Structure 1
Amino acid sequence: MPGTVAEAVAVQDRLRPLADLTGPGPAAPRTVAGLDVAYAEDGDRLAAAVTVLDTATLAVLDTAVVTGRAAFDYVPGLFAFRELPALLAALARLTVEPELLVCDGHGLAHPRRFGLACHLGVLTDRPAIGVGKTPLVGSWAEPDRRRGSWTPLRDGTDEVGRVLRTRDGVKPVFVSVGHRMGVANACAQVLRLTPRYRLPETTRQADRACRAELRRSVGV
């Protein structure tokens, strides 16, 4: 892990050209993993969860949770470095191999075009996408109110993702590719994972797992 901001930026610059941002990626993955991290009130202790779902049924097949401390200071644009060691450790504990990683965060839609989904995808060489609740960069027009509607997320002249409506009349999510995926396929996978709620079921299950572990281990 880098020890300074300059070292972390240098890691992003070195790894960014390795990200495959066109894919096309798996059209019908059988297993999909959600990755999420919950923090204690001190902002330092954390629990990182990876939950693998059967894409056809959305049943949970495997879950791994790792507790620890943030590995890097909070710096905008470098947030992935806080969570990477714990998430990689959780991935290593899985007994069911996911064909796609769905990160609670961003991939290409990042100030240096290398968010958490890109970083994890490159390090693991797995197809990965980011699904953010709020944008990190960019501007957009509101998509139509119908589920499946989308508009481009643009940062300057670059299209860095899509603003996707997963439920009729509900706030959209912000989808960007991480590694070995195209943006159209990324949105198709997100819609498969959101039959009832705004957020992908992968994110919901991983969020539930890491929060439960954090309550158990540190009492929050």
Structure 2
Amino acid sequence: MEPIIHHPWTISEEEALSLQQELATKVVTTDQIGEIKLVAGVDVAYQKDSDKLVAAVVILDAETLEIVETATAEDIERFPYIPGLFSFRELPPLIKAFAKLQHTPDLVVCDGQGLAHPRRFGLACHLGVIFDVPTVGCGKTRLLGEHQEPDTTRGAVAPLVDHNEVIGNVLKTQTNINPIYVSIGHRVSLTTACEWVLKLAPKYRLPETTRQADQVVRTTLKAKQ
């Protein structure tokens, strides 16, 4: 699986901001997806006391949630730590990991933001646009926006709003557990994004895509210490 849009990664902050604004115009916020059989989760971890990153892509069967394939890749930091520009740090190793896959996912769930981003172009949007694959942003924490507290029951939602624009949903995946923040990445509506995150989180707060990808990067990092 290779990107269809290529751009440099070793660029200045100003160039990255400009590129974000340009690519944000390509985000599709409606459902442009076929049958979803394979769902991928992605995660990136930072090696302590070094400039190395480890990325993981885990593909699950969309019905059984069993792991079908995993791929990992190492890279070095190519971009400084700047809030709102994390995708420029994390996508290079993820691209390497995606290149190793034998299967092509029908949907990718990112551990991070999509439209719920100051320039409406978080990691989920960036990944979705350059690969032209349906993506969902699923963050553990809120980056920006205001919201009312959703009801305490599983499946309850409250809109996440920034400057009178709905940029995502605050979603309860488990009853009486803290919510997560779901937003459009690319080629998936917000309603569909929330439906899939709920389906992928039958037992825990986080979807299995995120949980499994996190476990793979942690295991990989430990093995390299």
Map 1:67-86 → 2, pairs under 5 A: 67-86=74-93
Using the alignment, how far apart are the partners of 1:124 and 1:24 within structure 2?
A: 14
Partner of 2:57: 50
Q: Which amino acid in structure 2 is aligned with residue 160 of structure 1?
A: I
Q: Are the counterparts in 2 of residues 35 and 104 from structure 1 also a CA contact under 8 Å?
A: yes
Using the alignment, how far apart are the partners of 1:168 and 1:24 within structure 2?
A: 31
Q: Are the counterparts in 2 of residues 66 and 86 from structure 1 also a CA contact under 8 Å?
A: yes
Map 1:60-139 → 2, pairs under 5 A: 60-139=67-146
Using the alignment, how far apart are the partners of 1:139 and 1:41 within structure 2?
A: 34
Deviation at 1:61, TM superposition (A): 0.2
Partner of 1:5: 13
Partner of 2:207: 200
Using the alignment, how far apart are the partners of 1:127 and 1:32 within structure 2?
A: 10
Using the alignment, how far apart are the partners of 1:40 and 1:119 within structure 2?
A: 23
CA 1:215/1:59 → structure 2, altered by over 3 Å: closer, same or farther? same
Q: Which amino acid in structure 1 is aligned with residue 78 of structure 2?
A: A
Structure 1: 5+ residue runs without aligned partners?
A: none
Using the alignment, how far apart are the partners of 1:75 and 1:29 within structure 2?
A: 34
**Aligned sequence identity (%):** 49
Q: How many residues are matched?
A: 217
Using the alignment, how far apart are the partners of 1:194 and 1:71 within structure 2?
A: 33
Deviation at 1:89, TM superposition (A): 1.0
Structure 2: 5+ residue runs without aligned partners?
A: 1-8
Partner of 1:146: 153
Using the alignment, how far apart are the partners of 1:203 and 1:188 within structure 2?
A: 16
2:22 corresponds to which of 10, 14, 24: 14
Using the alignment, how far apart are the partners of 2:37 and 2:50 within structure 1?
A: 35
- After TM superposition, the runs of 4+ consecutive aligned structure 1 residues lying more than 6 A away are none
Q: Are the counterparts in 1 of residues 75 and 92 from structure 2 also a CA contact under 8 Å?
A: no
The answer to whether residue 44 in structure 2 is matched with residue 41 in structure 1 is no
Q: Are the counterparts in 1 of residues 114 and 124 from structure 2 also a CA contact under 8 Å?
A: yes
Deviation at 1:14, TM superposition (A): 1.3
Using the alignment, how far apart are the partners of 2:50 and 2:179 within structure 1?
A: 27
